[in-house]
Structure 1
Amino acid sequence: MRRSFYQYILTQRGHNFYDPVEAFAGAVAKDIMFPKYSEDYHEITDYLELSVDYLNSMDLFDQVWESYLENNK
């Protein structure tokens, strides 16, 4: 079953906020405006680049996106 990026990133949450992926996942979980149903790379990157300050580098997003694609086949 395909799932949105939001549904995937929530599975990456944890309590280790020194881990950048877990910290990113925790921030996304708290973001009520995040595009929760999107599977579209461009929609999500536009949102992250223009609307949030909790992601220091889009490289981290790209890494998580690749993992999302691998796990969402």
Structure 2
Amino acid sequence: MSFYQYLMTERNPNSHDEIAKFANDAFYDQAFPKNSDDYDEISRYLELNAGYLHSMTIFDNSWANYQEKLS
């Protein structure tokens, strides 16, 4: 499962949760690295291209949840 596939399980348009908002915004990001499971690649992409992500801590928290789900 790619990180994007995991993140899409967190989507909820009615939620104000930061991870749900991140997932909702990533859904509309056509250039998001959808097939990647590489932390550095996704992190670099978000730092350079994702104006919708207000804090990389949100990504780090969702990455930790993703890793937990994989194990």
TM (norm. structure 1) is 0.92
Alignment of 1:19-34 (within 5 A): 19-34=17-32
What residue number does 1:57 align with? Answer: 55
Report the counterpart of residue 66 of structure 1 in structure 2. Answer: 64
- 2: distance between equivalents of 1:32 and 1:14? 18
CA drift of 1:17 comes to 4.0
**Matched position secondary structure for 1:65:** helix
Determine what percentage of the aligned residue pairs are the same residue. 46
Q: 2:15 and 2:69 mapped to 1: Cα distance? A: 23
TM-score of the pair, normalised by structure 2: 0.95
AA aligned opposite 2:36: S
- Runs of 5+ in structure 2 lacking a partner? none
Distance 1:72 1:37 in 2: 15
Q: What is the RMSD computed on CA atoms of the aligned residues?
A: 0.9
- Quote how far apart the aligned CAs of 1:29 are: 0.5
- Within the candidate set 41, 45, 62, 1:43 is matched to 41
- Please identify runs of 4+ aligned residues in structure 1 that moved more than 2 A: none
Paired residues in the alignment total 71
